[in-house]
Chain A
């Protein structure tokens, strides 16, 4: 059966280098069809030239062979990164002691893996503190923080929070951490402190149920996760103000 024009155009645009006999015969049946195929092949040639000209990092092949992670995530050329870099510079300039700052615009692959691990942990632990637990004493909370390698300054504003759960945290094996849960306005709020490598940048938790932040905090990380629409900023300010690592 002869190929009609619509079918021919569809096949030519889908693949102008089609070597199927039926397509080749259909191409040679008219000069208009030959012209279309010729134009599309020229377009493909230019397309190929542009796509294959993407510059490849010179040392990429060696790094891939040695299976070394990137030394540092290079800053990407977004407006975000420029603003974040400026913000980070200002943070340093005013002498803030904790490194709660924005060092690059975008979390690294390792950061995002950490994000996924944190979320899995919170989902796994959530049933443990969903019931109406009694408030913990300051001593109980302080002990868990101490065992994680930190210190929480006694702060009257923190004492007014309904903290109902505090335990060591094992999100990252072989590192110390504390998982504290308080009653927020929308439900339970997890405050997790992990004494591991800080993430490269502060970034938001992305999840259908939870809202949250992962924040580089000195030599480790602070994670705050609550139910959607929970206002987390106040908790973040309280913790970063009162917490310090004991080195």
Chain B
């Protein structure tokens, strides 16, 4: 009797665990800021990795694993939660509470930035999360979000423009940026 199936299972488990070790933190953070709730984020991450396990054989290149997992997570979020979410901002303040060592001004800044990110429209927040948390390029973000590259760059430009307006109000450089400067490209 061949022991290949047992070996295959063990190799699959090892590959899966390596994937979890390397990426679970980024995947969780993306989920957390995407759905703005830690309990939902945890559910989403578990669903995402369960689906990843089931279709691990379809992942040809481990270098593409992060984009693959983020795409699964986005799809799961849309399928499971977006239609049920109550119309409230639900994000917790745990990440702020952990920063007690900071000066009060810094804590206030963090709180303001935290709120600004959480209340950013999803179409602007999502590419920004993919860029900052995922470290994806514009082209990769375009593929994950199924948008064209120009649309992604416009959304990133607007997302930072909105945050910059809050955090660098005295800036003389770039204050004349308005949303009307550039129409969003069509997909």
Instruction: List residues of chain A with CB under 8 Å of any chain B CB.
Output: 6, 9-16, 32-33, 35-36, 39-40, 43-44, 46-57, 60-61, 63-65, 67, 69-70, 73-80, 106-109, 112, 203, 206
Contacts and interface: CB of A to CB of B under 8 A. Distances in A.
Contact of A63 (B17, B46, B88, B172): B46
A146 B84 CA distance: 34
B98 interface: yes
Nearest to B17: A65
Interface residues of B, number: 66
Given A13-B177, A64-B20, A79-B88, 10 more contacts: A14-B138, A15-B153, A32-B173, A36-B174, A50-B95, A54-B32, A60-B28, A67-B49, A70-B46, A76-B40
B84 to A, nearest CB: 7
A53 B45 contact: no
B174 A10 contact: no
Contact of B171 (A39, A48, A53): A39
Contacts of B33: 51, 54
B63 interface: no
Nearest to B111: A50
Contact of A40 (B50, B86, B160): B160
22 contacts: A9-B157, A14-B153, A43-B160, A43-B164, A46-B109, A46-B110, A46-B113, A46-B167, A50-B114, A51-B117, A53-B98, A55-B94, A55-B98, A60-B28, A60-B42, A64-B24, A74-B42, A80-B86, A106-B84, A109-B46, A112-B79, A112-B84
Given A6-B181, A44-B132, A52-B133, A57 B84 contact: no
Given A51-B129, A60-B28, A108 B177 contact: no
Contacts of B173: 32-33, 35-36, 39
A95 B3 CA distance: 57
Contact of B86 (A54, A78, A109): A78
Interface of B: 16-17, 20-21, 24-25, 28-29, 32-33, 37-40, 42-47, 49-50, 53, 76, 79-81, 83-84, 86, 88, 90, 92, 94-95, 98-99, 109-110, 113-114, 117, 128-129, 131-133, 138, 153-154, 156-158, 160-161, 163-164, 167-168, 171-174, 177, 181-182
B28 A54 contact: yes
B43 A47 contact: no
B24 A50 contact: no
Given A36-B174, A54-B32, A76-B40, A206 B160 contact: no
Contacts of B50: 67
A48 B98 CA distance: 15
A14 B132 CA distance: 11
Given A14-B153, A55-B95, A109-B47, A9 B163 contact: no
A61 B138 CA distance: 29
A16 B173 CA distance: 14
A60 B21 CA distance: 11
B157 A39 contact: no
